[in-house]
Amino acid sequence: MKKLKLNNAGFEYLELAFTEWLDILGYNKGTVYTMGAVVREFLYFLTSRSVVHISQLDTPHFKQYYQYISTRSNQRKGGALSLNYINKHIQALEKFNEFLTHKTGTSITMNVRQIKYNTKPITVLTQAEIKQLFTLTQQDRITERETALQSRDAVILVIYYSCGLRRNEGVHIELNDINLDTRILHVRKGKKYKERLVPISQHSAKILEDYIYNHRPILLKSNTESRLFVSYYGKPCTGGTLYRCLQKLIYRSENPELAEKEVGLHTLRHSIATHLLQNGMELQKIQRFLGHSSLESTQIYTHLTEEV
C-alpha cells in the first residue's frame, strides 16, 4: 500500500488531512500510519473507477471496494486476505467516512459492515484464583524496591480486575485521574475516546494509596512523572511491561490450573464482569462499569456465567 502513487493532489491532501485529524484525536502512531495507508489504497481504488474528486464518492464505491479487498490475494503469503485484515480496512473506512462528515457536513451511508467470525474462547479466572493473586502481592519482601514492585503488582490487579479497565486505559492512567477522597477513577482515554467514571472500592483505595504515597516514589527517577504505573527504572510502564508483571505473578502462584490458562490483562476485565454478573449485578450496570457502547457487547458474559 505504501508504494501506491495517487497522482491526485486533492486526494493526497485528503489523506494527509485525515492522518493529521487522527493524530489530533490522540491515536497512536501505528494506528495513524495503518489507517492512512488503507485510505490511500481506497483513494487509489477510486481513481481506477474514474472518481477524481471526493464529491463523487457514494455508497456503491464502498461496496465495490469491499468486494475488491474480499477477493484480492495476499501478495506476501498467497491465498486470500484474512478476515481480520479485511475488518481493519472497514474500520479505517468507517473512520475516514466520519472524517469526511466532520469536514464536509455530508454523511454517506457505507452499507458495509465488519465480518463476524469465531474468535478464541474468552478466559475467565475464578474468584479463588483472583484472591490468590492478591494474596501474593502482600508477602514480605527483602528489599525496599522489591516491596515497591510488589505494591505495583497489587495495583495492576486493582486497575484491571477491580476497576475493569482495558489494557490501554490502564496504561494511560495518571495520578490526577484518581480521587481517593471520593473513590472515583476518571478514565479519560477509553475506547473511541469515550470518558467514564469508575468507582473504587474501599479496599482498592487503600492499595492505591499505599502504592502512590509509600512505594511509587521509590521507583521514580523524576518527580514530574504523572503516570500511575512506573517501571523498575522509573519510566512509564507499557502494556507489555504490565503483562509480564502479571505473568510473573501467575508463575509465583505455583497453581497448575492457573498456569494452564491463557491470561492477559484483558482476562482480568473479563473476570470482574463475569463475577459481578454471578453476584447478581444488573447487566446494564455492568455495561456502564465496563464502558461498553452497547448492551450486546456486555451480553457475552451471560454465556460465560453458564460455563464457569
The active-site residue out of 61, 191, 252, 261 is 191
The active-site residue out of 166, 215, 270, 275 is 166
User: Does the active-site annotation cover 292?
Assistant: yes
Tell me how far apart the alpha carbons of residues 154 and 163 are, in angstroms, rounded to a whole number: 12
Start-to-end CA span in the chain (Å)? 44
Residue with grid cell 474514474, as numbered in its chain: 50
CB atoms within 10 A of CB 14: 20
Identify whether the C-beta of residue 1 lies closer than 8 Å to the C-beta of residue 37.
Answer: yes
Kind of pairing between the strands at 196-199 and 178-179 = unpaired
User: Does the active-site annotation cover 33?
Assistant: no
Cα pseudo-dihedral 26, 30, 33, 36, rounded to 10: -60
Kind plus residue range of the DSSP H or E element containing 178: strand 178-179
**CA Rg value for the chain:** 23
In the chain, alpha helices (H): 9-25, 29-48, 59-71, 83-104, 127-136, 144-157, 167-171, 202-210, 216-219, 239-253, 256-260, 265-278, 283-290, 295-298, 300-307
Cα pseudo-dihedral 197, 202, 205, 207, rounded to 10: -140
For the four alpha carbons of 272, 276, 278 and 283, in that order, the dihedral sign comes to negative
Q: Give the closest residue to 265 by CA, choosing from 245, 285, 279.
A: 245
Identify whether the C-beta of residue 68 lies closer than 8 Å to the C-beta of residue 32.
Answer: no
User: Does the active-site annotation cover 102?
Assistant: no
User: Does the active-site annotation cover 303?
Assistant: no
User: Does the active-site annotation cover 301?
Assistant: yes
* Residues annotated as catalytic (active site), given as ranges: 166, 191, 266, 269, 292, 301
